[in-house]
Structure formats: C-alpha cells, structure tokens
Structure 1
Amino acid sequence: METIRIEHRIGVRATAERLWDVLTDFGGWERWNPHEVKVQGALGYGAPISLTERLPDLGERQVQAHLGEWEPNAQLVWVERRGFLFRTLRYYEIEELDRGACIVSHGMVFTGLRAELFHDKHRARIRPAYEAISEKLKQIAEQG
C-alpha cells in the first residue's frame, strides 16, 4: 500500500499554549485558514469533525472525518476515509524549542491504492495552500 506525505513547517514566535488555543478554536479557523473552513467538532478521541476543504482549482469538498490522536500543546490529527482503500491523515504538530519559540508542522499523509495518483495530480495545488495556511497561522499566533 502506498503512503505519501505533503508537509510544511514554519517557525512561530508564540508559546505552544497559544498555538494550541488557536488550533482548537475550531470556530475561529477562518481567521487564519482559508483552505479548511466551517470547521465543527470537539476534542475527543474518535470524535467527529467536519469542515469544508477549499484547495485552489479543486473547488469545495465536504470533509467528514474523525479525530485521531491529539495531545494538548503538541498535536492535532484527524483521519478521513476517501473511498475503498484510500484515506488521508491531516495533522498539525507543535514543537516548542524554547518558551515562546515553536516549530509548527502540518500536512497530509495519503495512504492507499490511489495515494500516489492523488498526490501526483494535486500536489502543485496543495503545497502552496499549506504555505499560505502556515503564514496566516503564524501571523494570528504571534499577534497574541
């Protein structure tokens, strides 16, 4: 089975707590994330999460997923089945280097029979979208 990842990392001058507060304010995602909007859900292992994905040139797509792993101030992960033997894992990870200095990584892991095809077809649209998400998340988190 094929596994492929798209990821973006950025340094942010904010505490892990501040970043976690921004990430878990699902109703406020549209302030910093133009590509994953109308987010609804609650923290809880296996809890449902829904959102609208708006990637450039791909239109809008409704996402119905489930939270996987989550750890306060460190990690938020959700998993979506996209058909028979194809799924995506979307994640945000916070690594605190020093108080008020973090690296935020976020991306998507594609797994399944269609993973390589999907990745090859859409990576040129997804990578710039993830860069834009990183920059806006950094801006909002650093504003305090």
Structure 2
Amino acid sequence: MFERYIETAIDIMAPPERVWAILTDFAAYPSWNPYIVSAYGKPAAGAWLEVHIQRRGRRTMMFRPTVLVADVNRELRWRGRLLIPGMFNGEHFFRIEDRSGTVHFVHGQAFSGLLVGLIRGPLSATRAGFEAMNTALKERAERSGA
C-alpha cells in the first residue's frame, strides 16, 4: 500500500468561529473558493457530501466523500475514494487551531491505495490548490471581521 501526504497551513487574524462558519458554508464556496468550487451536503459526521474541485489547468472533478469528523470550530475531515476501496483513497482535513484571537489553519490530505505510487505531478497541483484556498479563506475571514 502506497501513501502520500500533503499539509499546508496559514495564519488567519480571525476567531475560530468565523473561520468555521466560512469553511462550512458550502453554498458560498462558488463566490470565494478557487479550489473547492462547489460543495453540497451537511458538515456532520456520517454525512455524504458532493464536492467539486478545480485544479489549475485541469477540468473540474467531482467526488462524494463521507464526513468523518465535524468538530465545531476545530476540525472538518472527510474520506473519499476513486474506483474501489484500496485503489485511491483520500482523507481530506481542515484543522482550526485557536491561538487566542487568531487561527492557525491547517489544510491537508493523506492519500493511500495501490494507485498512489503512480501519481506524482497532480499532487503538486493539489498542493497549489490547497494554498490558493487557504489564501482565499484568510482574505474572506479577515475582511468579514473588519
């Protein structure tokens, strides 16, 4: 079984409640999120989501992950897979770490499965997408508090 891991982070000058509210307002994603361009469903453990991602230079990809963790103001985590279990699985996570009035936002994904060893280039595009989303989230959270 192959595994790969991506983790990005950014500091946001906003309270955890504001960051969580923006992160879980899926209906607003098309207006600000350059990576997850739309999402449908509830941010609740056990719920199914429909998520559409847009990586630079590629067509939009849709998948239906299951929410694993929805710890209000702290963590949102889901797991999706392509094809059949064990071929290409991804556990996507967002952690909101409270730093007394600011947030250290951690955004990442753990990839596992037989096909992971064959994939190299798309992971750099995925990292760029995460970073673009982080920056957009920071701008939205800091602007909405002004």
Partner of 2:13: 13
For these two proteins, the number of residue pairs brought into alignment is 142
Partner of 1:93: 95
Partner of 1:37: 37
- The residue type equivalent to 1:115 in the other structure is V
8 Å CA contact 2:43, 2:76 repeated in 1: no
Partner of 2:26: 26
Distance 1:32 1:115 in 2: 30
Q: State TM-score, norm by structure 1.
A: 0.92
SS of 1:28's equivalent? helix
1:58 deviation in Å?
2.4
Partner of 2:139: 139
Q: As a proportion of its length, which structure holds more strand?
A: 1
- The residue type equivalent to 1:109 in the other structure is A
Distance 1:57 1:138 in 2: 24
Mapping of residues 72-87 of structure 1, within 5 Å: 72-84=72-84, 85=86, 86-87=88-89
**Deviation digits for residues 94-141 of structure 1, max 9, x if unmatched?**
00111x2110011111011112322x1312212222111111100001
- The residue type equivalent to 1:39 in the other structure is A
1:69 deviation in Å?
1.1
Deviates more, 1:16-25 or 1:35-44: 35-44
Give the RMSD, CA atoms, in angstroms.
Answer: 1.3
Q: What residue ranges of structure 1 are gaps of 5+ in the alignment?
A: none
Partner of 1:107: 108
**Deviation digits for residues 50-96 of structure 1, max 9, x if unmatched?**
02111112211111111111200000011111123121111111001
Identity among equivalent pairs (%) = 29
Q: State TM-score, norm by structure 2.
A: 0.91
**Deviation digits for residues 15-67 of structure 1, max 9, x if unmatched?**
00110100111101223311112210013211010021111122111111111
Structure 1 residue runs of 4 or more that deviate by more than 2 Å after TM superposition: none
